[in-house]
Amino acid sequence: MDRKSELQATVDALAQAGKGLLAADESGPTIAKRFERIGVESSEENRRAWRNLLLSSPGLGQFISGVILYEETLGQRADDGTPLPELAARQGIVPGIKVDKGKIALALAPGDEVTEGLDGLAKRLAGYRQQGARFAKWRAVYNVSDKLPGWAAVQANAEALARYAAICQEAGVVPIVEPEVLMDGAHSMARCAEVTEAVLHAVFHALHRHAVVLEHMLLKPSMVLPGKEAGHAAPAEVAMQTVQVLRRTVPAAVPGIFFLSGGQTPTEATVNLDAMNRLAPLPWRLSFSYGRALQEPPLLAWRGDAANAAQAQRVLLQRSRLNAMACLGQYDEAQENAAG
């Protein structure tokens, strides 16, 4: 299969109707915080056991088309010795890999940050492909205030995202482009919309400059939401504002938009996605790429005890099913209550 056909096959496998992505690519410090909340030590074996539990959940492939893994997980094995990426692939779940190296302060721009990790990326991608990864993810973050993000941060992150995406496509790996406008702060929903529109405009201008093929990439944006300290927005308002910004900035050639949950509760993330999909017809498939919003309920059920694994898997499957329904605009609150 040539590179173009391979990229198309991966996109087709990921952007299936009624399916989304499981983000299981937490860095060491992030997963340590999540484990700490349930009283579990963040040892390599506990991380392996948790990710083995996720990927071996019976029937998960009905609702999850791809999983974003952390570099450590690519090399780990299931209880029966199967490499974890292969365990996912057996369920029809495409393995992917987080490739950025995290954020740092942007020089001479107080409060702004930029993501690093481009050095040696092509070589790393070749290794990840050998381990089974067929797509990648790079996250850029934007802090929001009356003055943030600055123009330099918007441009620097757009350039990095575009360079990453071009390197991925050259390597035969589908890039997921993730510009996250953070919820932290007291900014209004209108300010979030303004920043998100500016960020996405810059990202797609940069992707065009770097000759990235839009049909062979996926977008992972944040929803348009008020800051955490500014109150709550109704799902219909979130849907209207988010879709309006997307229509203004995202070309119809992009096959799928997979939202991050970004600090929303599991239920909020599901309800808001459902509200967007009720605004059909839309030029792109709107789906989910959730980390905490999918993992938090099964984590609370597991609590590090192997005896709880089957129950945790059932909780994960139900949470995935609810989000799959939201992808189709068919979420039912009664099923949420039943899940609880």
For the residues of 154-208, what is the DSSP string, one character each?
Answer: HHHHHHHHHHHHHHHHHTT-EEEEEEEE---SS--HHHHHHHHHHHHHHHHHHHH
What counts of helices (H) and strands (E) characterise the chain? 13, 10
Structure confidence at residue 339 as a pLDDT band (50, 70, 90): low
Q: Note the CATH architecture for domain 3-339.
A: Alpha-Beta Barrel (3.20)
Query: In terms of C-beta distances under 8 Å and separation of at least 24 residues, what long-range contacts does 293-297 make, across chains too?
Result: 293/261, 293/264, 293/265, 293/266, 293/269, 293/319, 293/323, 294/22, 294/23, 294/261, 294/266, 294/319, 294/320, 294/323, 295/22, 295/24, 295/34, 295/54, 296/34, 296/266, 297/266
Cβ proximity of 98 and 136 under 8 Å:
yes
Q: Which one of 178, 180, 268, 296 is the catalytic residue?
A: 178
Residue 220 annotated to the active site: yes
pLDDT digits (tens, 9 = 90+) for 318-330: 999 999 999 999 9
- Pairing mode, strands 64-69 and 135-142: unpaired
pLDDT at 337 over 70: no
Q: What is the mean pLDDT of residues 112-135?
A: 98
Could you say which DSSP state residue 77 is in?
A: B
SS3 call for 152: helix
How many other CB atoms are there within 10 angstroms of residue 153's CB atom?
Answer: 22
Residue 240 to residue 119: CA distance in whole angstroms? 39
CA distances from 45 to 73, 79, 313, 326 (A): 11, 11, 18, 34
SS3 call for 218: strand
- In one-letter notation, the amino acid at residue 210 is H
Report the chain's mean pLDDT, rounded to a whole number: 96
What per-residue confidence (pLDDT) applies to 1?
Answer: 82
What per-residue confidence (pLDDT) applies to 231?
Answer: 87
Q: Which one of 159, 220, 268, 296 is the catalytic residue?
A: 220
What per-residue confidence (pLDDT) applies to 335?
Answer: 72
Joined tokens for residue 252: 């119809």
pLDDT digits (tens, 9 = 90+) for 7-66: 999 999 999 999 999 999 999 999 999 999 999 999 999 999 999 999 999 999 999 999
How many other CB atoms are there within 10 angstroms of residue 169's CB atom?
Answer: 20
pLDDT digits (tens, 9 = 90+) for 268-295: 999 999 999 999 799 999 999 999 999 9
Provide the residue count of the chain. 340
Cβ proximity of 179 and 138 under 8 Å:
no
- Pairing mode, strands 64-69 and 218-219: unpaired
